[in-house]
Amino acid sequence: MKAFFVEHYGKDTLLALGDRPEPDMRDNEVLVEIRAASVNQLDAKIMSGAFKQIIPHKMPLTLGHDLAGVVLGTGPRVTAFKTGDEVYGCLPVNRIGAFAERVTVDESYLAPKPGNLTMEEAASLPVVAITAWQALVVIAGVTPGQRVFIQAGSGGVGTIAIQLAKHLGAEVATTAGAASADALRGLGADIVVDYRKEDFAAVVKACDAALMSQDEASLAKAITILKPGGTAISISGPPDPEFARQAGLNQLFGLVMWGLSYRIRAAARRRGVRYAFLFMQPGGAQLRELNALLESGVIRPVIDRVFPFAQTPEALAYVASGRAKGKVVVGVGGARAG
C-alpha cells in the first residue's frame, strides 16, 4: 500500500511516498481504509526527532496520528465495530501511520464517525479535540461561570478548546492575530487579545484555568492571571514529573522533568495555583463523549485547508509553519498517488 514515511529523524528529513507492507491485524484490532488524515504539529516534531528519547520508533516510520475511514475487517475479539462502519480516531504514539491507505488499530482507539461530519471534518478532530477535553474537562474540571484563558485560539487546539469551554459554561478569553478575531468570536470567545499588539496578562485577569500552547515566557505570565486555586495547563512544555510517572518513564527522565519544570512549578506554588503538563492520551471513549457535541453542532470542526494525499509533505510543511487557522487535512481516499 502507498504511505508517506521517513527513513530517519532530522530537521531536514523528507517525507517520502512509497510502498509499505500491508498492516498485520491482531485479534483486538480493526483494519481501516483511511479516507482522510489530519496533520498535527506532533507529526513534524516526531519527524524532527524531538521525541525520540521518550517515544522510540522503528524506521522506516509512516507518520500521521489522526484518521477517518471505513472498516475493512475486524479481528476475532473486536466487539464494537463491523466491516463497513465509518470510524475516526487518533492512533497510539507507538503505532502511528495515518498517512497511508490502510492501518490496523486496537478498537479502543476508535469511535463511530459522527454522521453529520465528512471524512475530512472527522479526521481533523481526534488529537485536538481529545487534547481540549483532557485539559478542560479532566484536568481543569471547568464549571459554569468560570473564566478560561486559551492561548492561540486560531490554532487546531484553540478552535476546539474555545467551543468546548463555552459549552462548559465558561467565559472565554483567547489570543490571536487580528485577522482571526471575528472568527473566534463566532466560535464563542468573549475576549480576543491581539497577541502581536497587546500583552494578554494586562487584559485578562482572574481566570480559573489557562490552556497554554506556546512559549515558556507566556506560560510564566499565565500563572499571574489565575485566581488562587486555578490551573495552568501547558501542552507545549515543560513536562513535569507527573507526566514522567504516567508515561512510565524511568527515574532519570523523572529527574530531568523535575528539573525542567522546577521554575514554573515553584512559581505556581508561590501564587497558590497549580501547574500541569498535558500530553494527550488518545482513546475512543472521549471521542464518543464528544460525538454528542459534534452531532448537535455544539462543536464544529474548523478546517484551514484540505490537501490531496500526494501533497502530504506540503501539508506537513504548512502546519509546521505555525500559521494554520484551524486544522490541515489530507484527503486519502480516491487520491491514490503514484
Where on the chain is the footprint of ligand NAP (CB under 6 A)? 40-42, 45, 127-128, 131, 151-152, 154-158, 175-177, 180, 195, 213-214, 235-236, 278-280, 319, 322-325
- Pick 1 or 55: Cβ nearer ligand NAP: 55
- Pick 31 or 129: Cβ nearer ligand NAP: 129
* Closest CB 195 distance from ligand NAP, rounded Å: 4
Sheet holding 2-6, edge to edge: 16-19, 2-6, 61-62
- Pick 34 or 129: Cβ nearer ligand NAP: 129
- Pick 119 or 128: Cβ nearer ligand NAP: 128
- Pick 257 or 324: Cβ nearer ligand NAP: 324
As a whole number of angstroms, the distance between CA 286 and CA 295 comes to 14
Q: H helices of the chain, where?
A: 41-48, 119-123, 126-133, 156-167, 181-187, 200-203, 216-224, 241-246, 251-260, 262-271, 284-295, 312-320
* Closest CB 325 distance from ligand NAP, rounded Å: 5
Q: How many CA atoms lie less than 13 Å away from 179 in the CB half-sphere?
A: 4
* Closest CB 307 distance from ligand NAP, rounded Å: 15
* Closest CB 327 distance from ligand NAP, rounded Å: 7
CB 59 within 8 A of CB 93: no
For the beta carbon of residue 313, count every other beta carbon within 10 angstroms. Answer: 15
* Closest CB 152 distance from ligand NAP, rounded Å: 3
Q: Is the peptide bond before 238 cis (omega within 30 degrees of 0)?
A: yes
CB 148 within 8 A of CB 211: yes
